[in-house]
Amino acid sequence: MFDDDFSDPVNERLTFHDDFYSDDTDDVDSKGISQSLFDHSASTTDHFTQVPKPCVFGMGNDCPEYERCVPKNNRARTGVCSCEDGYNRDSLGHCKRIHTSSNKNQHITISPSTESNQASSQKKNKTDKFLSTTELPVHRLVVSAGDNVTLQLPENEVTLSAYALRQEEGEGDNYKYEWNLISHPEGDETGTMQDQNTKNLKLSKLRAGLYTFKVTVSSSNAVGEAMVNVTVLPPERANKPPVAIIQPSNVTVKLPNKDTVLDGSFSTDDDKIMKYQWEVLEVPIGYSVQLNETPTLQLKNLIPGFYRFKLTVTDSKGAMNSTFANVTVQKETDYPPTANAKSEVVIYLPQNEVTLNGNLSTDDKGIKSWEWKKSPDTDKAVDMEGTNGPYLHLSQLEVGVYKFILKVTDTADQTSTTEVHLFVKPESNTPPIANAGPDQKVTLPLQSPVILNGSGSKDDIKITKWKWE
């Protein structure tokens, strides 16, 4: 850095001294002065410690006095502060007015001397104290703030790190960092930032929402910036396990009904049930079940017996719960048959045959077989026809008592029996009783024939002849 006697500690406006370019300076020609200024500028480049301030073009003038925001390129919004026209930056980084010589085409900026004897110093010494009027070129610095970050409360702390890629050979790593909060969730409390002017920014006490940060990295002749988002998610919901429910949980099916449905859609969860899993624990032998992963289980073509099923439900967080259902399938109600063939039958000789009728037997589902037998109590001979049908024909009967047993079987193999007593009595004949009808009175001459009716006559066996006299 230049000596203090050439600085302007009170930021007073710079003045230009004409005597630097008076006619008696022929010992230093213009070519020499220019070369001296060039050499001096080159030698003092490393003494510039204040970096041009970054700015946003078109967002108001946030640059220092006598400076304006110059974008990096035609499409960029960001840039750096540069001296206005007529001003150049001095060794302290301040923009000072330029004084132009009338006989030299050279722009320079100087600081006034603080001692009177320096005004009379040698012209060569004055020339050596000129400041360079050439501004350092500002390079674009490639900056990264890392990947976007996502947190979930209660975690509310994170450290963001910035990285800069050197653009010029020999460029140092002595970068300056400046972190700024661009946007944050609504509310007064936004969190806490630490080490804003370091490579690593520490964030804490963050709230749920989206934060956007910008980091600006600069060096003596380079500047760049990057953006990064921090998303803070609300605390994870405390998951409650689901509750498995089957309706109905106990069901009885009576044949001939053969179908039923078990419904697991009544199961509940605080979020959502993602999976239904049915399991068979017990079924009758010979029955197969087609399982699926749906809320309902359809059972078809059931057979008599006991069934037991298990339902397991799983929610969106993987929590599970199980329950059970029982199904009982009963046979259809089938009442036993009732055998009926009349309990007693009487015949008289000479009639020696008769037919017993078992067709009066009944059953709610139907009779599938009849079986006639002579009772062991009967030792008389008899001819029997149709012993496996509803009608039994008997012949060659003799006087006496016969006992026959009828057994009927229904479709469920249930049986019923009855006993029929057949009485065969000897022949007997009593006189008939003649009946010619009621008395009639007639008047002559007759107007119509007179009819006498003897059909009311009776006999214990049969009337074979009528005779009127």
CA distance 440 to 437: 9
Q: Are residues 300 and 354 in the same domain?
A: no
Q: Judge whether 410 lies within some domain.
A: yes
Instruction: Tell me which residue range forms the domain holding 75.
Output: 54-94
CA distance 353 to 374: 15
Tokens in use for 231? Answer: 């998303």
Q: Are residues 181 and 204 in the same domain?
A: yes
Q: Are residues 301 and 361 in the same domain?
A: no
Q: How many distinct structural domains can be found in the chain?
A: 4
Domain CATH for 369: 2.60.40.10
Q: Judge whether 12 lies within some domain.
A: no
Q: Are residues 153 and 223 in the same domain?
A: yes
Q: Which residues of 2-36 are buried (b: 16+ CB within 10 A; e: fewer)?
A: eeeebbbeeeeebeeeeebbeeebeebeeeebeee
Pairing mode, strands 176-183 and 209-218: antiparallel
Q: Judge whether 369 lies within some domain.
A: yes
- Give the per-residue pLDDT at 169: 54
pTM: 0.40
- Give the per-residue pLDDT at 174: 80
Q: Judge whether 460 lies within some domain.
A: no
Q: Are residues 282 and 227 in the same domain?
A: no
- Give the per-residue pLDDT at 371: 95
- Give the per-residue pLDDT at 29: 37
Q: Judge whether 290 lies within some domain.
A: yes
Tens-digit pLDDT profile for residues 261-298:
999 999 999 989 999 999 999 999 999 998 999 999 99
Q: Are residues 196 and 256 in the same domain?
A: no
Q: Are residues 220 and 271 in the same domain?
A: no
> How many other β-carbons are positioned within 10 Å of the β-carbon of residue 83?
23
- Give the per-residue pLDDT at 74: 66
Contact 403, 419 (CB under 8 A): yes
- Give the per-residue pLDDT at 444: 84
Question: Would you write out the chain's pLDDT as a tens digit for each of its 469 residues?
Answer: 333 333 333 333 333 333 333 333 333 333 333 333 233 333 333 333 456 788 877 666 678 888 888 887 766 777 888 888 778 887 777 888 875 443 333 332 323 333 333 433 443 343 344 333 345 567 788 899 999 999 999 899 999 999 888 655 555 568 899 999 999 998 878 889 999 999 999 999 999 999 999 999 988 888 899 999 999 999 988 889 999 999 999 999 998 899 999 999 999 999 899 999 999 999 999 999 989 999 999 999 999 999 999 999 999 989 999 999 999 999 888 889 999 988 899 988 888 999 999 998 999 889 999 999 999 988 888 999 999 999 999 999 999 999 999 999 998 899 999 999 999 988 777 788 898 888 888 888 888 888 888 888 887 777 888 888 8
